[in-house]
Amino acid sequence: MIPMLPPAYFGPIWYFRHTIFHERVIVNGIEQFQKQTIRNRAEILGANGKIRLTVPLVKWSTNVPVNEIRIDNTSNWKHVHWMSIQSAYRNSAFFEHFEDQIRSFFSQEHDRLIDLNLSSTKFVVSLMKSELVVTLVEDFQDVKDVRALNLSSEFVKKRPTQYLPKYTQVFSDRFDFVPDLSVLDLIFNLGPRASLYLQDLQKNG
């Protein structure tokens, strides 16, 4: 069955665990937007601990689908996120390998949050050299008709932390292992081995 995932901004490692053995995943563009979740937040690890990267949003009404949520581009949030990522990972094993590509990602323009979500997910897939097809569904009938496993309930506001196998993180001399950060943490620290980590996680999870 095809996994149907909520939209995510550089989703956590557990999010990408659901993609590794599939040829296709569906991103649900009409689910109700849930604030303070992976829909517009990502967590990375910096010198002083966790850093939360939050995409600012234009004020919205309650109970609206995520594909109606707009990004507040009046703030310089992309520069802030890029500088935070650079500060956190410039000493990681694979930062230089991915630096230009990720800097280029933050030069893109997005008006809708769902388009940023889809773009970041496809970008991660490309970094891991995967042939996974990521499809956005924005039609209610299509969501009803597709045979998919809806995984949105795993990514709610107060989701439990997934305790994942340890890998070496940039600030391992300062902090105990911090699990289930944004997949960017995995990519910068493991590089090409990130996809193997996800495969092992799926096999043993």
List, for residues 32-83, the tens digit of each pLDDT value: 999 899 999 999 999 999 999 999 999 987 789 999 999 999 999 999 999 9
Closest residue by Cα to residue 150 from 25, 8, 37, 33? 25
Residues 2 and 103: their CA atoms lie apart, in Å, by 32
Q: Where are the domains of the chain?
A: 2-120+136-204
Nearest CA-CA partner of 16 in 94, 91, 111, 122: 122
Q: What local confidence, expressed as pLDDT, does residue 23 receive?
A: 87
What confidence score (pLDDT) does residue 139 get? 76
> Alpha carbon of 158 to those of 38, 113, 182, 198: distances in Å?
11, 21, 16, 23
Amino acid 144: pLDDT: 63
Mean pLDDT across 95-118: 96
